Amino acid sequence: MAETRRVVVTGLGVVSPVGSTLDTFWASIQAGVSGVGPITYFDASAFDTKFAGQVKDFSVEAFIPKKEARRMDPFCHYGVAAAKMAFDDSGLDMSKEDPRRIGVVAASGVGGLQILQGQMDVLRTRGPGRFSPFMIPQMITNILPGLISINHNLKGPNFAVVTACASGTHCIGEALALIRAGKADAMVAGGAEGAICELGVGGFNAMRALSTRNDDPQAASRPFDKDRDGFIMAEGAGIIVIEEYEHAKARGARIYCELAGFGCTGDAYHITAPDETAEGPAGGMKLAMQDAGLTPADIDYINAHGTSTPLNDSGETKAIKLAMGEERARQIAVSSTKSMTGHLLGAAGGVESVACALAIRDGVLPPTINYTTPDPECDLDYVPNEARKATIRACLNNSLGFGGHNATLCFKAL
């Protein structure tokens, strides 16, 4: 049996409510800064939820020419920008690379929702003859990896994996598999989302999935806290560059960590609710560790899906105990960076992978902020309110999506 090709992380890019450069993002995460605030994109006064995690310090023109930007949905603005940051950070020089050996796997959980909403307004007010000819390519989810590949001349594998809030994680996992299989030497992978609009907020409100803590938005995202009441919509992108270890070493690349494993399962239970047994996400964690050749004793940190919804947080806590064993689970630091960023939906796994890579590099456990009232059903070490220094040998990054999609990545120090 051929030896498995090792895969490492060499580039990181992020656009988020707590920072749209790597340095500002990571400084905010370490400081426990909330990126949540009142919605300014539209009049939210009639909505049950009036706040979200909006991107604040981002200039589209810094990454995309104005004419091209007008032909993209915001999820592509964020994804294209994060990909450029990650590509630049990696130091890859395409004049020295075979473009057929580098590809892209990236997606959005819901795609071009803002474009769809805008074109529906056109239909109602101006008629079907006034649709934009760019409407379809603007809103389809797979346009993101297409745009990234065009921008960087990447002719290797190119596709999108859409699994709602697990999309970014699944994309990175599939990119890992492609490099291991010898079908690529490097991949750009992750997720992007830009769904803060009337349709997005209204749809999630109708499901009663969002927090309605309108009097204190910055304290609304409180994963694992007894008083949590729903998740907070957020936007942005998280894109990473991964590549085969020998390829990275040969070009003298700076390496953040190793991407050592991936596991994914399906609940086969309900379209939105998690399976009460928690066997699905537990199975994903077990598979990721097995894929990495590790055991629970090797895991020092878990970046939890941790959405701040009652069922998710208690269910994920149960899943961690099933995967790690009760005793070991209580020794592992578990935190949710969504307490600061809000929930970036399909971009969450990408953004949280960036956080995992930086946590390993700097030996820092990101905090779960707004944790004030313990929940008896959530009784692990959630790194409450303040970051901690720690050696992180290996960590897991969990993502769970509507439809019962469970995905876990395993990163480890090189």
Task: Give catalytic residues, as residue numbers.
Answer: 165, 305, 343
- For the chain, the first-to-last Cα distance in angstroms comes to 24
Considering only CA atoms, which of 391, 232, 162 is closest in space to residue 299? Answer: 391
DSSP alpha helices (H): ranges in 4-130? 22-31, 66-69, 74-90, 113-126
What's the Rg (C-alpha) of the chain? 20
Q: Identify the three-state secondary structure at position 145.
A: helix
Structure tokens at 213: 């803590």
Q: What is the rounded CA–CA span in Å between residue 305 and residue 313?
A: 8
DSSP state of 297: G
Contact 224, 376 (CB under 8 A): no
Contact 338, 211 (CB under 8 A): no
Q: What is the rounded CA–CA span in Å between residue 312 and residue 278?
A: 10
Q: What is the rounded CA–CA span in Å between residue 213 and residue 143?
A: 35
Considering only CA atoms, which of 181, 182, 176 is closest in space to residue 161? Answer: 176
Amino acid at 23: D
Instruction: Provide the CA 23 distance to its chain's centre, in angstroms.
Output: 18
Q: Residues in the chain, how many?
A: 414
